[in-house]
Amino acid sequence: MLRTKIYGTMLAPILGQSQSEIGGSKKPKTVEPKTSRPILSNRSILFIVILLQFVLVAYFTRVPNVSSVPSRRNSLEFRPAGCESGTIYVYDLPAMFNTDLQHKCNELDPWASKCKANLNGGFGPPAKELAGVVPENILPAWYWTDHYWGEVVYHNRMLNYKCRTMEPESATAFYIPFYVGLAVGNYLWGNHSAKERDWHCEMMLKWVQEQKWWKRSNGADHMLMLGRLTWDFRRLTDDDDDWGTKFLHMPAMQNVIRLSVERHVWDPLEVAVPYPTIFHPRTKSDVLEWQTFVRRRRRTSLFAFVGGRREKIKNDFRGLLQDQCTAAPDACRHVDCARKSCLDGTTAILEAFLDSDFCLQPRGDGFTRRSVFDCMMAGSIPVFFWRQTAYLQYEWFVPAEPGRYSVFIHRDYVRNGTSIRQVLEGYGREEVARMREKVVEYIPKFVYSDPSEGSGNPRDAFEIAMNGVLRKFKDHMEKGRLGKRNDVQ
């Protein structure tokens, strides 16, 4: 009853009724002579003004609709097409951490100059020697690319990436263009101390930890590329005789995503990406022409082996493969890398893979080797002896079912006398054709296209790697796995 009376007191002047008519008992009506009066009384006008003030205050102090405010987590309307998983900000590192290292190309390898590797955005010199080996129309897409030059290749691609943002506050992820493989490679051989091998890494981490965007997440939304095997960055002690740098064991690196040509399979922060090959298609038509070429190639050898015996290694597995290959010259094509350089400038490698149904792929300096991708790029079916050579490495870039594109023969069987030739001869022509088709289908996924040719590039290994990492970051942010980012002023 009290509430009714209060409301009645407030509304009566507006409705032109008395309190008793609104909230009390009815009284007998009395007829009074009509007199003229204003439409609204002074009390009514005052009440309306107060009511309007309440409405205005409520409007301007309302909680904004989150979907209408651009933020790191909800800004799809501001992203370029194809960047639904987010955008990347590229740090402008001091030159001592990338381009200065690149320009010291005469000091990066104790056996040969690496200056040619810097040409054409890190693709190296044009592979003119392949004239007559590859179709003439796509010869300009071939370069003698150094297999450890991935840091340079990724940096140049990132600078032209469609999902790159110049606004760090809106970035999903941050790319650190540190040429750590070049920095460390200069000190891997010779009389260098552990402190020398760690110096560039420590200085770079000191720099990046001073950046406000790093401080927001402690590096959990940061990534970089390792152009060498992960093992070159995992030294466990400070002994000068131990190999490599301890970069990945430094405390500041414990949250950073790493793209690497060979990853540690037990490290969830590492993503294995293909080695740079020598084919860098300019357009989708380059890819289609090459796929057609390798499909139609007449292959005269059952299998090929590109590699050499390593005399200093006891029970060298490559030596066993070489023995089986040379014992079957009518079935196996061999390129002996112990007698000639197999790193670049050798047309014999591509020719051997183009002429063979299968290619033998033992482990390299680590579990992986660039030859795996050279082989498949030529439409040859890889034969593996270690599962870590491909199956546990490049999940984003090769078919999920190993048996659809490759052959696996356990190395112990080979050591015990299993004939590789007999195993491969057990595959019928139709089965070989199906496996080759799957290899050819995946060629665009493990080559790096030429970004200088504009928007006609196919979706390549770089695009797949970036999309995959951005999905990881986005998923972790949505599920809270990255933790709360601190506000940055």
pLDDT digits (tens, 9 = 90+) for 249-298: 999 999 999 999 999 999 999 999 999 999 999 999 999 999 999 999 99
Helices then strands, each counted (H, E), the chain: 17, 10
The pLDDT mean for the chain works out to 84
Asked if 123 and 145 count as a contact pair (C-beta separation under 8 A), the reply is: yes
Give the range among 33-47, 129-143, 354-368, 469-483 with minimum mean pLDDT. 33-47
Answer whether residue 149 is part of any domain: yes
User: For residue 61, is pLDDT > 90?
Assistant: no
pLDDT digits over 96-119, tens only?
999 999 999 988 888 888 999 999
476 pLDDT band, cuts 50/70/90, is low
pLDDT band at 17 (very low <50, low <70, confident <90, very high): very low
304 and 265 belong to one structural domain: no
pLDDT of residue 21: 38
Tell me, yes or no, whether 9 lies in a domain.
no
Residue 314's pLDDT is 79
Q: What share of the chain is helix, strand, coil (3-state, %, to 5)?
A: 45, 10, 45
The predicted pLDDT at position 479 comes to: 64
For residue 136, tell me if it sits in a domain: yes
Domain that holds residue 415: 298-444
Over range 473-485, report the average pLDDT: 62
Q: What is the pTM of this model?
A: 0.81
Residue 75 domain-assigned (yes or no): no
Residue 15 pLDDT > 70: no
**Helical (H) or strand (E) element with 434:** helix 429-441
Please indicate, yes or no, whether residues 396 and 464 belong to a single structural domain of this protein. no
Yes or no: say if 375 and 362 are a contact pair by the CB < 8 Å rule: no
Give the pLDDT score at 35. Answer: 40
In this structure, is residue 170 part of a structural domain?
A: yes
Orientation of helix 150-159 relative to helix 461-478, angle to 10°: 70
Residue 412 sits in a domain whose CATH number is 3.40.50.2000
Q: Exposure pattern of 118-152 as b/e (b: 16+ CB <10 Å)? A: bebbbbbbebeebeeebeeebeebbbbbbbbbbbb
How much of the chain exceeds pLDDT 70, in percent? Answer: 79
Confidence of residue 30 (pLDDT cuts 50, 70, 90): very low
Same domain (yes/no): 267, 311: no
Q: What are 346-394's pLDDT values in tens digits?
A: 899 999 999 999 999 999 889 999 999 999 999 999 999 999 999 999 9
Band of residue 28 on the pLDDT scale cut at 50, 70, 90 = very low
The model's pLDDT over 391-441, given as tens digits with 9 standing for 90+, comes to: 999 999 999 999 999 999 999 999 999 999 999 999 999 999 999 999 999
**What is the distance between the alpha carbons of residues 361 and 307, in angstroms, rounded to a whole number?**
9
pLDDT at 305 over 50: yes
Q: Please tell me whether residues 205 and 308 are part of one structural domain.
A: no
CA distance 464 to 469: 9
Whether residues 127 and 241 fall in one domain = yes
DSSP bridge partners of 142: 279
Please say whether the dihedral angle defined by the alpha carbons of residues 368, 372, 373 and 376, taken in this order, is positive or negative. Answer: negative
**Same-domain status, 236 and 261:** yes
pLDDT of residue 72: 41
Confidence of residue 172 (pLDDT cuts 50, 70, 90): very high
Give the CB-side neighbour count of residue 313, counting CA atoms within 13 A: 11
pLDDT value at residue 342: 72
Residue 2 pLDDT: 37
Whether residue 41 lies inside any domain: the answer is no
Assigned domain for 1 exists: no
Q: Does one domain contain both 141 and 240?
A: yes
Tokens standing for residue 439? 């290899």
Q: Is the pLDDT of residue 310 over 90?
A: no
Q: Are residues 458 and 408 in the same domain?
A: no
Q: Which residue has the higher pLDDT, 314 or 259?
A: 259
Q: Are residues 225 and 325 in the same domain?
A: no
Query: Got the DSSP string for 234-266?
Result: ---S--TTS-S--GGGSGGGTT-EEEESS--TT
Q: Are residues 161 and 255 in the same domain?
A: yes
Residue keyed to tokens 């015996």 = 309
Q: Is the pLDDT of residue 23 over 80?
A: no
Is residue 156 over pLDDT 70?
Answer: yes
Could you tell me if 253 and 348 lie in one domain?
no
Do 469 and 369 share a structural domain?
A: no
- Taking residue 386's Cβ as centre, other Cβ atoms within 10 Å add up to 17
Query: Mean pLDDT across the stretch 16-42?
Result: 41
Q: Is residue 315 part of a domain?
A: yes
Domain total for the chain?
2
40 has a pLDDT exceeding 90: no
